[in-house]
Amino acid sequence: MNSHCEPGIGRSNPPQEIASSLKAPRNDTKHMEYTYYPGCSLHSSAPAYEKSSQAVMKAIGAKLNELEDWNCCGATAYMSIKELTAFSISARNLALAKKQAPNHDVVAPCSGCFVGLTKANKYINEFPEIKEKVNVALAEAGLEYDGSVKVRHLLDIIVNDFGVDKIKAMVKRPLTGLKVACYYGCQIIRPKTPLDDPEEPKHLEELIAALGATPTHYPMKANCCGGSIMGTEENIGMMLSRNVLDCAAKYGAECLVCPCPLCQMNLDAYQKPINRKFKKDINLPILYFTQLIGLALGLPPKELGFGSELVSADDIVRRFS
C-alpha cells in the first residue's frame, strides 16, 4: 500500500519549478467585499479556522459580511438521504445572500460547504425541474432563488482576487526553512471547479512559497482523508488518513496545511490512534493555511487560533514569532 509513497517513486516526483497557474489578480482589491458563509464547523469544531480567516481577511483589507441567519448547507450526509431537501436548504442560503448583497460573491472557507452550495447552484441551473421545485419550497418562507449567486472558496479569494504577489509583499516574518505539506483533500478541487486542477492543484504551494516556506511535493496531496467515513467505518477512514500522513512525513514535511475543517479533524484528532493502530511515529501538526499566512504577516498567534490543535504546533509558533 505504501510503496507508491516512497520518495522518488510514483507519479508526482518533486517538480523542479512550479509553472504558475495563477490568473492575474483583480485590480480593485481596495473594494474586496464578500458575503461570508462560515458553516457549522467553523462555529464549533474549527474555531482556529474562523479566527485565522477573519484575521487574515482583515489584514489584507477584505470585508466579510456574515450571511444573516444562514443555515446548514446539508453536507454529504443530507445529500445521501434526501437530495431535493438538501438542494432546497442550500438554496435558502443562496436566496438570503442574493437578498443581502446581490453583487457580492459568497465565500465559504469549508470545502464541504463550498461543494454543497456549488452543487445546489449547478443542479438548479442545469435542471429546470429542480429549479422549479426548489423555488416552490423556498416560497413557503417567502424566498426565491434564480441560481445567479457565485459561490467561492476562501483560498480562491486570497489567491485569485488579492494575489500571491501582494501577500508576498506583506510578509513580515518569512517562514524560512519551514517544510510544509500542502494538502487539498477532495472537495475544494473536485468535481471540476474553476479554482484549480482536479488532479495536480498548485495554488496552495504557490501561496505557501510566497510566505517564505518550502512546500513539500508529495503524491498524496489531492487524495481522500476518508471524510465522514471516519465515523461510520473507522478502520477504512484511519487507513486513508494514514496514507496521507505517512506520505507527507516521509517526504520530510514538518507540518501540513489544509483548507477544510473535516480534513483537519481527521488528520489531527485521529493522528494518535493512527500511530497506535499502524505502529507509526508520525508527529505532524495539522494547520489551516490561513494560520500560516497570519503567522507570516506578523499577526499575534493567539488571534490565529493556535493552541486548539491536538498535535501541538507550539514549536512552529515559537520559531516564527
Using CB under 8 A, list all residues that contact other proteins. 40-41, 43-47, 69-72, 74-85, 87-89, 92, 123, 126-127, 129-130, 133-134, 136-138, 140-143, 186-187, 190-192, 198-199, 223-224, 226-229, 231-234, 236, 240, 269-270, 273, 307-310
Give 273 or 298: the residue with its C-beta nearer to other proteins.
273
Q: Which residues are paired to 287 by β-bridges?
A: 257
Give 119 or 152: the residue with its C-beta nearer to other proteins.
119
Residue 231 phi/psi, 5-degree rounding, is: -80, -35
Q: Provide, rounded to whole angstroms, the least separation between the CB of residue 318 and other proteins.
A: 19
Is 3 buried (19+), middle (13-18) or exposed (0-12) by CB count in 10 A?
Answer: exposed
Q: For residue 218, which of 195, 246, 191 has the smallest C-alpha distance?
A: 246
Give 149 or 167: the residue with its C-beta nearer to other proteins.
149
Q: Provide, rounded to whole angstroms, the least separation between the CB of residue 179 and other proteins.
A: 25
Interior angle at CA 167, CA 28 and CA 294, nearest 5: 120
Q: Provide, rounded to whole angstroms, the least separation between the CB of residue 9 and other proteins.
A: 18
Give 105 or 234: the residue with its C-beta nearer to other proteins.
234
Q: Provide, rounded to whole angstroms, the least separation between the CB of residue 45 and other proteins.
A: 5
Residue ranges of alpha helices (H) inside the chain are 47-59, 75-81, 83-100, 111-126, 128-139, 154-156, 164-170, 203-210, 229-232, 234-250, 261-269, 271-278, 289-296, 314-319
Give 34 or 37: the residue with its C-beta nearer to other proteins.
37
